[in-house]
């Protein structure tokens, strides 16, 4: 007995994903993209800046809180119990705490990506000399 999948298999999607994976591997081999980008806990010199990491996590929490706030605003409100103002205050406080927890777990890795971008030393050429 052969089991038929409930969703038809999309061969074009699989081929597209294989092509993108191949392009990513080529970019990693060429040194354009680091395979560990966004996952490192320290910068290139092996240092870790706790203040910068905390700021990146707080920024991630702020972005997640804004996302939750906008998602909640898209849901129609029902004033069933007549205490809409108190409920909104509670919901905003709850949303902020949920956003902090999401950020602290590192599930989105957004804070780590921001940290890697900000912790990597940047150099610029000014009149032929490298300046940091």
More confident residue, 30 or 60: 60
> pLDDT-derived band of residue 2, with 50, 70 and 90 as boundaries?
low
> Given this model, what pLDDT does residue 13 score?
63
CB 132 within 8 A of CB 123: yes
Give the model confidence (pLDDT) of 54-99 as tens digits: 999 999 999 999 999 999 889 887 767 666 788 888 889 999 999 9
Tens digit of pLDDT for each residue in 88-129? Answer: 888 899 999 999 999 888 888 898 898 988 887 766 555 656
Pairwise CA distance, residues 95 & 101, whole Å = 10
Residue 17: helix, strand or coil by DSSP?
helix
Domains of the chain by residue range:
47-132
Give the pLDDT of residue 62: 93
- Label residue 38 by pLDDT band (50, 70, 90): very low
pLDDT of residue 122: 67
Q: For residue 126, give the DSSP letter.
A: E
Residue 78 backbone phi and psi in degrees, to 5: -120, 120
């Amino acid at each position: 007995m052969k089991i038929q999948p409930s969703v038809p298999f999309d061969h074009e999607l699989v081929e597209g994903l294989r092509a993108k994976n191949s392009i990513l591997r080529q970019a990693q081999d060429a040194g354009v993209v680091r395979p560990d980008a966004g996952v490192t806990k320290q910068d290139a010199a092996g240092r870790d800046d706790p203040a910068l990491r905390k700021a990146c996590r707080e920024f991630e929490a702020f972005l997640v809180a804004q996302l939750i706030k906008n998602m909640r605003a898209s849901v129609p409100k029902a004033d069933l119990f007549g205490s809409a103002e108190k409920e909104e205050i509670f919901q905003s406080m709850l949303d902020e705490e949920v956003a902090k927890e999401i950020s602290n777990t590192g599930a989105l890795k957004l804070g780590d990506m921001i940290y890697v971008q900000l912790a990597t030393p940047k150099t610029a050429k000014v009149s032929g000399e490298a300046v940091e």
